[in-house]
């Protein structure tokens, strides 16, 4: 019978302990490399994030969408650290929120513009608009300003260039067709389609009423219509973390063909990618 070697046994146990320790540390390190990023959004229609979540999960970045029901809370939550990023607003709104509330947050990447197209039940192209035609537009300052920019891009009116991206009716310098603007609440523009030659309709109301922004418009909105980024939506972060490499990676993955496909298919062209401009 062989004599039991205590030294060898102790040595083997020590080696096993070290091996187990290394394995455990490896698992822990892998877990520590994973990070969860909370992104504030508004509402439930956020399928454009699906391909982003799927891709980043493979890279150890977990995206958690935090849904809000209003437009004021997401920036509060970001500023106080309840969320890490948010994606629900355009530059005009963000700038207003910063000015009014002193938030130390900023844009770190562009996403889309919400298409505000021209639709008609009577004509197939804006070139068919004739003398004295009635065109329905939203009557609030922001949406009416956009509607006027779109009508100018369509060649229907001319605006004073000094008005920038927020013109008013008084800024129309040429209306050679004597177009009559029918100004109503944005939510009621669609209802006027049977009574006017054309209407400029926000994408959410177009979708709600069964229109396909990518196919039914007689003139489509475009990022190039606007001089600045006022109506471009964005991903925002706290200013102190604007250079966070994980957040930069999230923006990079978001700005992809896969997300553009969701814009076109799921949202029927209601959103137009703004990062190429």
pLDDT at 15: 38
Question: Which single residue is written with the structure tokens 């150890």?
Answer: 60
Same fold yes or no, 35-114+229-273 and 117-220: yes
- The pairing of strands 172-174 and 158-159 is antiparallel
Q: Where are the domains of the chain?
A: 35-114+229-273, 117-220
Among residues 32, 37, 34, which one has the least CA distance to residue 78? 37
145 with 131: CB under 8 angstroms? no
Does CATH number 3.40.190.80 belong to domain 35-114+229-273?
A: no
pLDDT at 152: 98
From first to last of its 277 residues, the chain has per-residue pLDDT tens of 444 444 444 344 343 333 333 333 333 344 457 999 999 999 989 999 999 999 999 999 999 999 999 999 999 999 999 999 999 999 999 999 999 999 999 999 999 999 999 999 999 999 999 999 999 999 998 899 999 999 999 999 999 999 999 999 999 999 999 999 999 999 999 999 999 999 999 999 999 999 999 999 999 999 999 999 999 999 999 999 999 999 999 999 999 999 999 999 999 999 999 997 5
Give CATH for domain 117-220: 3.40.190.10
Task: Provide the H-helix boundaries in the chain.
Answer: 6-33, 50-57, 73-79, 91-101, 141-153, 203-208, 245-254, 257-265
Whole-angstrom Cα distance, residue 100 to residue 94?
10
pLDDT at 217: 97
pLDDT at 142: 87
Query: What is the distance, to the nearest Å, from the Cα of residue 102 to the centroid of all Cα atoms in its chain?
Result: 23
DSSP state of 169: G
Whole-angstrom Cα distance, residue 105 to residue 25?
37
pLDDT at 29: 43
Whole-angstrom Cα distance, residue 151 to residue 119?
12
Residues in the chain: 277
pLDDT at 8: 42
Distances (CA, A) of 7 to 13, 18, 21, 130, 191: 10, 17, 21, 101, 90
């Amino acid at each position: 019978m062989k004599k039991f070697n205590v030294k060898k046994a102790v040595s083997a146990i020590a080696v096993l302990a070290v091996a187990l320790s290394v394995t455990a540390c490896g698992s822990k390190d892998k877990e520590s490399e994973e990070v969860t990023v909370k992104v504030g959004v508004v509402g439930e229609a956020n399928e454009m994030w699906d391909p982003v979540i799927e891709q980043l999960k493979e890279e150890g970045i977990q995206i958690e969408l935090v849904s809000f029901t209003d437009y004021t809370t997401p920036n509060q939550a970001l500023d106080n650290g309840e969320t890490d990023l948010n994606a629900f607003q355009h530059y005009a709104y963000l700038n207003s929120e910063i000015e009014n509330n002193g938030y130390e947050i900023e844009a770190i990447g562009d996403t889309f513009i919400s298409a505000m197209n021209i639709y008609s039940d009577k004509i197939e192209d804006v070139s068919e608009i004739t003398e004295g035609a009635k065109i329905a537009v939203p009557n609030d300052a922001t949406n009416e300003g956009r509607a006027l920019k779109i009508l100018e891009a369509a060649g229907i009116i001319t605006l004073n260039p000094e008005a920038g991206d927020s013109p008013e009716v008084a800024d129309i310098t040429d209306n050679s067709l004597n177009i009559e603007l029918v100004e109503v609440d944005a939510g009621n523009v669609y209802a006027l389609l049977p009574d006017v030659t054309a209407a400029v309709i926000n994408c959410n109301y177009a979708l709600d009423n069964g229109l396909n922004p990518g196919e039914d418009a007689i003139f489509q909105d475009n990022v190039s219509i606007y001089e600045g980024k006022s109506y471009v939506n964005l991903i925002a972060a706290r200013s102190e973390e604007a250079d966070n490499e994980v957040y930069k990676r999230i923006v990079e993955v978001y700005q992809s063909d896969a997300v553009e496909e969701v814009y076109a298919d799921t949202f029927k062209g209601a959103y137009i990618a703004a990062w190429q401009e």
